[in-house]
Amino acid sequence: MTDTSRPRPAVTARGLHRRYGPSGRDGFEAVRGLDLDVAPGELFALLGTNGAGKTSTLEVLEGLAAPSGGEVRVLGLDPLRERAALRPRIGIMLQEGGFPGELTLAETGRCWAGLTTGARAVDEALDLVGLLPRRTVRVKQLSGGERRRLDLAMALLGRPEVLFLDEPSTGLDPEARASVWRLIRELRAAGTTVVLTTHYLEEAEELADRLAIMHHGRVVTGGTVAEVLAAHPARISFELPERTGPHAALDLPVLPGAVPELDGRRVLLRTPDLQGTLTELLGWAARHRVELARLDARSASLEEAFLAVAASADPAAAPVAPSQIGRAA
């Protein structure tokens, strides 16, 4: 029976493979059986180690390359075979835009608008990314960060329903990055589906409804930020007092589920239940009048989840099913 309560995903991949070169030992399989679903209006971040296969995946979703196996659909269409129908409905920001250096921004916009169905005014697109005052400057005179913003402006010219952004904020200073994040949030709020790759974990944490972390061509973990972090223990660290006077016979309490590591007086507890463990620890400290010096308690960070993925030798063993990384069809 078909589940009609869920909207059809805006982007899907099933068993996606992408190989460079010939089959066998002389070729290289950059994407190895990737499944994902991105719901309409969702912001999905693809993270991963260098060379994990993010750009290789994105290029197939964008219709710029053929998969060597599996299936992808964007807005229900095959991005390669139904490119003519799909292209006007998507925006693409490549890792490098490659616009001719001699053209001004306004000229670049006009050229690009000529190839875009239902393009918005060029000045409006430049204004969205804060480049309107630079409209008469030549592309070759732009800084790296300004070029990224021009790439984004051109991706937005056609008011896309689905926007693919390959490392949109690489090279941007903190202020420009914040304004790009603001713009991406506004686009999402207006209903645009966004798929982006990034090396900035903070960017994924700030923007993404869901994310996937790739390693060696596979999705190793994915879901909402909270779901990804749930697999990693929180940490509580503190320093015990000297074992003298009233504390001579002091022993740490048994804290269910928590694993303590001791280094002299310094204690590190890893726990899946931060609030529960902290409550018990503070209760014990109050009862025994123990001061926990340099007390620090924190949930796992996306960085820890990422580093755990990067350290995994064989992510091949259990590729994540689409239902685990989100709203599978």
Ligand X SMILES: Nc1ncnc2c1ncn2[C@@H]1O[C@H](COP(=O)(O)OP(=O)(O)OP(=O)(O)O)[C@@H](O)[C@H]1O
CB of 59 to ligand X, least distance (A): 8
CB of 18 to ligand X, least distance (A): 8
Quick note: the x/- pattern for ligand X over 225-244, rule CB under 6 A, is --------------------
Residue 239 DSSP code? E
CB of 58 to ligand X, least distance (A): 8
CB of 113 to ligand X, least distance (A): 29
CB of 166 to ligand X, least distance (A): 8
Is 51 a residue that touches ligand X (CB under 6 A)? yes
Q: By the 8 A CB rule, do 171 and 165 touch?
A: no
Give per-residue burial for 130-164: e unless 16+ CB within 10 Å, then b. bbbebbeeebeebeebbbbbbbbbbbbbbbbbbbb
Is 53 a residue that touches ligand X (CB under 6 A)? yes
Rounded to whole angstroms, how far apart are CA atoms 96 and 147? 9
Given 12, 56, 193, 277, the residue binding ligand X (CB under 6 A): 56
**Closer residue to ligand X (CB): 204 or 255:** 204
Is 28 a residue that touches ligand X (CB under 6 A)? yes
Burial of 327 (C-beta count, 10 Å sphere; 0-12/13-18/19+): middle
φ, ψ dihedrals at 138, nearest 5° = -80, 150
* Residues ≥6 apart with Cβ < 8 Å to 78: 71, 72
Is 55 a residue that touches ligand X (CB under 6 A)? yes
Q: Which stretch binds ligand X (CB under 6 A): 52-60, 121-129, 156-164, 309-317?
A: 52-60
Gyration radius of the chain over CA positions = 24
Alpha-helix residue ranges (DSSP H) falling in the chain: 54-61, 83-86, 105-114, 122-128, 144-156, 174-189, 201-207, 225-230, 274-287, 302-311, 322-325
Rounded to whole angstroms, how far apart are CA atoms 16 and 61? 10
CB of 78 to ligand X, least distance (A): 21
What type of residue sits at position 15?
A: G
Is 48 a residue that touches ligand X (CB under 6 A)? yes
Q: By the 8 A CB rule, do 155 and 125 touch?
A: no
Is 54 a residue that touches ligand X (CB under 6 A)? yes
CB of 285 to ligand X, least distance (A): 45
Is 30 a residue that touches ligand X (CB under 6 A)? yes
Is 87 a residue that touches ligand X (CB under 6 A)? no
Q: Which stretch binds ligand X (CB under 6 A): 3-11, 54-62, 96-104, 201-209?
A: 54-62
**Closer residue to ligand X (CB): 92 or 105:** 92
* Residues ≥6 apart with Cβ < 8 Å to 143: none
CB of 169 to ligand X, least distance (A): 14
Is 50 a residue that touches ligand X (CB under 6 A)? yes
Task: Kindly state the number of chain residues that form the binding site for ligand X, as judged by CB under 6 A.
Answer: 11
Q: Which stretch binds ligand X (CB under 6 A): 43-51, 118-126, 152-160, 275-283?
A: 43-51
Residues that bind ligand X (CB under 6 A): 20, 28, 30, 48, 50-56
